[in-house]
Copies of this chain bind each other. A is one copy, B any other.
Amino acid sequence: VAPQLGENIGASARAMKNFGITDLRIVNPRDGWPNSKAINMSVGASDVIHNAKIFSDIKSAIYDLELVYAATAAARDMNKESVLSRDISTDLVRDNADKIGFLFGRENSGLNNEEISYAHKILTIDTVKDFTSLNIAHAVAIICYQLFQNLGKNTSDLSKINYATKDPKPQLSEVENFYDHLFDKLESKNFFRTSEKKNHMSQKIRNLFSRIDNLSKSELQTLRGMITVLTKDERKYDE
């Protein structure tokens, strides 16, 4: 999300490829795209750079994913589950998702709370207490390393261990449609009052719903249906 230096994009691509991860998605790179510094720094991973997808917002970048982690050092004042990188494989098995994304923030200030609200969980790399700020490409390298060490080529095998059957999960674009629907309805009822409160409250709601463990597609449809029914104009029944 909003990376500043092409060198760090290139170094991240190289680290991804070392550990078999190639789907790089970039939201609003500061210096535009393509970026020659990114290509130079990627060394043997220029294919990852050339195949990178560029987006103008997080929502469109995660549209087809099922589970998103936000990599951040700070424990936020946010009711969101936090997972240590060394426990990531256990967490992935529990969560049973196939398409998983990891959000990394800009070099100088990381991810802001609005951006984190698009993630289901916070992912933290444990460091010494008094020097927690990691270089962005180092953070990418460590997460990709940890995924590869624990899961290797057996990600799909592992994800089936604890689940006899598997309900389909919604794509995140379907979840976003649900939020749009919900927020529209809330707005129409003047739930948010001011636009400032709307930002704050919509993040809070997102964070709350994104903590529903293993939410299935059909459960999401149920939620959506509930909202529709709850906000239905009663006069229609009266007529």
- Within A129-184, the residues touching B (CB, 8 Å) are 131-135, 137-138, 141-142, 145, 148-149
The residues of B that contact A145 with a CB separation of less than 8 Å are: 125, 142, 145
- When the two chains form their complex, are residues B86 and A131 in contact, meaning their CB atoms are under 8 A apart? no
Please classify the interface of chain A as helix (H, G, I), strand (E, B), loop, or mixed, using the class held by over half of its residues.
helix
> Would you call A25 an interface residue if the criterion is a C-beta within 8 Å of the partner chain's C-beta atoms?
no
- In angstroms, Cα B20 to Cα A126, docked, is 11
Given contacts A138-B11, A141-B138, A145-B142, contact A44 B125 (CB under 8 A): no
Q: Which residue of B lies closest to A11 (CB)?
A: B135
Of B18, B128, B131, the residue contacting A127 (CB under 8 A) is: B18
Question: Chain B residues with Cβ under 8 A from A44's Cβ?
Answer: 131, 133
Q: How far, in Å, is A140 (CB) from chain B's closest CB? A: 9
When all copies of this chain in the complex are counted, the total is 2
Residues from chain B with Cβ under 8 Å of A127 in the complex: 18-19, 148
Question: Whole-angstrom distance from the CB of A74 to the nearest CB of chain B?
Answer: 14
Q: Chain B contacts of A18 at CB under 8 A?
A: 127-128, 131-134, 138
In the assembled complex, A45 has its CB within 8 A of some CB on chain B:
yes
A-B contacts, 27 of them at CB < 8 A, read A11-B138, A14-B135, A15-B134, A15-B135, A15-B138, A17-B128, A18-B134, A18-B138, A19-B127, A19-B128, A20-B128, A43-B133, A44-B131, A85-B149, A86-B149, A125-B145, A126-B148, A126-B149, A127-B148, A128-B148, A134-B141, A135-B137, A137-B138, A138-B138, A138-B141, A141-B142, A142-B145
| Among all A-B residue pairs, the 9 with the closest Cβ atoms | A138-B141, A20-B128, A18-B127, A86-B149, A17-B131, A142-B145, A15-B138, A18-B134, A18-B131
